[in-house]
Structure 1
Amino acid sequence: MKKFLIAIASLFLIGVIGIVVLMKVDFNRMNADNYYVHITEDGVKEVGKGSDGKVYETYHYNLESVNAKGETKTVEFTASKNLRKDAYLMLYVKEDKGVSSYDEVQLSDIPKEAQAKLK
């Protein structure tokens, strides 16, 4: 009976740890390359309708990005809102999916080689 209780407690603990990991880890950012962009214009607005009838807006961007080594790449991504002009973004780019996530960053947080090409 004691072994059974230990086994149940162990499975419960593994389950709790698994749930915490799933809540804290952003899998869209794992194994992704970082590229940087400067938002200089509004995105192209697209209005759609969900299956529940709710209307939503999506903004499409097609921009030249640069990585920490100074290498450039054209990327396409969408946002659920029109991004602020003059904002700098760090994009998480995966080979098979393209841009999977992004964060707004300060110019001073961008590597020097990328800063030179974004100005």
Structure 2
Amino acid sequence: MLKKAGIVLLVILGLMAIGGGWYYHENYTGEDYYVKITTNGEKLRDTEAPAAYQVYYEYALPAFNEAGQQRQVTFDAFRDNPLRRNAYLKVAYNHTRGVILSYEEVQQKDIPKKAASKLN
């Protein structure tokens, strides 16, 4: 009897681990897309936010994945100055939530060919 309860407990814990991994993957990971900063963004201010996050820039730009498929993305850059014009960014887009999870500047040579051809 105790052996069966142990097996049932292991199965339940295994299913919880699989479910938790799936949930994390669906909500907190993203597909890489590439954007080129072509505007200064829209400067916004939120006086109720902590001091480091009161001034930010919002960008709405076309983004392209490795296969060259386009998606319109919107993201914020929490900083005092706009992002550098003509900079290339790799952004992590989460399809489930429809948000950009992170971004980092990359060199043009590091962008997949199909995406790079669409950005220029």
Query: TM-score by structure 2 length?
Result: 0.69
- Alignment correspondent of 1:89: 89
Cα drift, residue 50 of structure 1: 2.9
CA distance in 1: counterparts of 2:66 and 2:98, whole angstroms: 20
Cα drift, residue 97 of structure 1: 4.4
Cα drift, residue 40 of structure 1: 1.0
What SS does the corresponding residue of 2:114 show, helix, strand or coil?
helix
1:16-95 to structure 2, matched below 5 A, reads 31-50=29-48, 54=51, 56-81=54-79, 82-95=82-95
Gaps of 5+ in 1: 1-26
Query: TM-score by structure 1 length?
Result: 0.70
The count of residues paired between Structure 1 and Structure 2 equals 91
- Alignment correspondent of 2:105: 104
Bigger share in helix: 2
Runs of 4+ in 1 over 3 A off after TM superposition: none
What SS does the corresponding residue of 2:74 show, helix, strand or coil?
strand
> How large is the Cα RMSD of the aligned pairs?
2.1
Residue range with higher mean Cα deviation, 62-71 or 94-103: 94-103
